[in-house]
Amino acid sequence: MKGVAFSPAHITGFFKAEVDRSLRPELQGSLGAGFSIEAGVTTTVKVEDSEFPDFKITVSGYQSDNTQVSEFVISEFLKYVNGNYLVSVNHDVRVPVGYGLGCSAAVALSLAYALNQAFDTGFSREQLGQIAHKAEVCCQTGLGDVLASYHGGFEIRTKGGAPGIGELKKIPIGRYSAIMICFSPISTKQFLKERLSSINGLGGKMVSKLERTQSVDEFHDYSVEFAKYVDIITPKMQQVIDELRSNGIRCGVALFGETIFTLVRPEQEGLVNEILERYSDGIIIRSQIDNSGARLLS
């Protein structure tokens, strides 16, 4: 028995957390705005009969030393499966982990879809999205990326929660592509523990404003403003922001990572690439917007 699924990576430009530990994880989440990209995570699952339940997880591409989210999703599935199985999981990760690209959400979503196919458990897409979202919230690796990656596109999240509970608006943006430069990772879990309460007011106002204008330029500007307010912009990030802006290129900051992104039209791509390639210590990622969201591949 086998399953193969893909989830796009996702970048959040700003957000407002909606966390109440007295509520079920599916009801917690975040408002915010961001976009999904065609780079992401492909997960392959193979299931074999076994004397006792067990699993093994391997990762190709960009590496992570933490399989907590994957283990959580597997354990949720095994509650609904009769018999003993060896579950073999491979995550092919095409974006760097910990840089604000929503990798843990893409891992959780693609794994849920692949497990559902391998076990033929018959869960709906919404149910799979809720399992993935629950894993993110319980492992404290994210709040809104699952809802966004589930749908794909450039989105404004207007109600927090898992797929089927949270709500978003997908905004058509035509021929824009995404270019990012990643310098260093930032721990989402640490940030959610220490800084969450101080940032919600600004993020909520930005959601309301962007919902009215639906402007890519304002999305960029709000993202930088939010990152400055949260105080995560390093001198190197500021240098990149200033250089892009001085050349007429708006940009934003991925949450949470030392990562600058820009959504650009085709005629701007060459200039952006030329600027970013001067920073030899950064990882540059170029990708189209993914408008389809998480999906099976076989």
From first to last of the 298 residues of the chain, give the pLDDT tens digit: 999 999 999 999 999 998 888 899 999 999 999 999 999 999 999 999 999 889 999 999 999 878 999 999 999 999 999 889 999 999 999 999 999 999 999 999 999 999 999 999 999 999 999 999 999 999 999 999 999 999 999 999 999 999 999 999 999 999 999 999 999 987 766 666 666 666 677 899 999 999 999 999 999 999 999 999 988 899 999 999 999 999 999 999 999 889 999 999 999 999 999 999 999 999 999 999 999 999 999 7
| pLDDT of 298 | 78
pTM value? 0.95
- Domain residues for the domain of 7 are 1-298
Contact between residue 91 and residue 57 where contact means Cβ atoms under 8 Å apart:
yes
State the greatest distance between any 2 C-alpha atoms of the chain, in Å, as a whole number: 64
Task: Report how far residue 266's alpha carbon sits from residue 103's, in angstroms, rounded to the nearest whole number.
Answer: 26
> What is the count of structural domains for the chain?
1
| pLDDT of 230 | 86
| pLDDT of 137 | 95
Both tokens of 294, joined, read 């998480």
Q: Give the domain CATH number at 174.
A: 3.30.230.120
| pLDDT of 231 | 87
Both tokens of 177, joined, read 């592509």
Amino acid at 112: A
| pLDDT of 221 | 98
Contact between residue 96 and residue 180 where contact means Cβ atoms under 8 Å apart:
no
Amino acid at 130: Q
